[in-house]
Amino acid sequence: MRHHVREHWVVIEDQGAGKSALRSRLRSARKRRDLGAIAELDSLISGQILDVLETIALNPASVIAAYVAMPSEPPVNVLRSQLHEMGCTVLIPIVSGDELLWANDGEEEHWMRNALGTLEPDPRGALSSSQALPSCTAIIVPAQAMNPNGFRLGQGKGFYDRALTKVVDLEHPPLIIGVTYESEFLPEIPTEAHDIPVAVSVTESTVRWF
């Protein structure tokens, strides 16, 4: 049974260092996770995200920025398929130097893996974050952890932090959805000045609005 929690929190001050140590512990925990449960987790997480998207009048004209999960990340493959069936445009990130480009989702058969081991679509015709993200209805962002202020702990490369700067000052920004496992929703995580909070946290069991 899904549990939806709507909360409002005050953004806390920068907590400084400590991200690397926390990432190491979280990565170790993910490696111990039962991979046999991935398909069920995908269905649960994708269902939660779709419920959230339905609150913002999702329609066939909607553009959704999603992602292809690394082996240890919360999967959203079911969501991608459902969005395609609805006629929505789904964008997938491509690592390009220090930035993210965005290309249309599609069949992964001929996709290549980047240096981080993540599958990526063909970069030909891909758009920059400043070109692609402002037109999105929602941006779905993977995270290693989330805290009760809506801040996420990423992989440490800063790709999403840089990409999200293209939309945070818009009058009507896309809904930013952070995705983790429920065990990774933590009372606190270290934050820095450049960190951008999400609007909604989704896990396999809970939706939290900030």
> Per-residue pLDDT tens for 4-26?
544 433 333 334 447 777 877 87
- Torsion on CA atoms 65, 13, 45, 97, rounded to nearest 10: 40
C-alpha distance across the termini of the chain, in Å: 21
What is the distance, to the nearest Å, from the Cα of residue 62 to the centroid of all Cα atoms in its chain? 17
Structure tokens of 89?
């445009």
The confidence band for 158, taking pLDDT boundaries of 50, 70 and 90, is confident
CA 135 to CA 7: how far, in whole Å? 27
pTM of the model: 0.86
> Which segments of the chain does DSSP mark as H helices, in order?
19-31, 38-53, 77-85, 129-132, 159-164
Multiple choice CATH, 3-7+37-194, 3.40.50.10420, 1.10.10.10, 3.40.50.80, 3.30.70.920: 3.40.50.10420
pLDDT digits (tens, 9 = 90+) for 39-96: 899 999 999 999 999 999 899 999 999 999 987 889 999 999 999 999 999 999 999 9
CB 172 within 8 A of CB 185: no
Domain ranges of the chain: 3-7+37-194
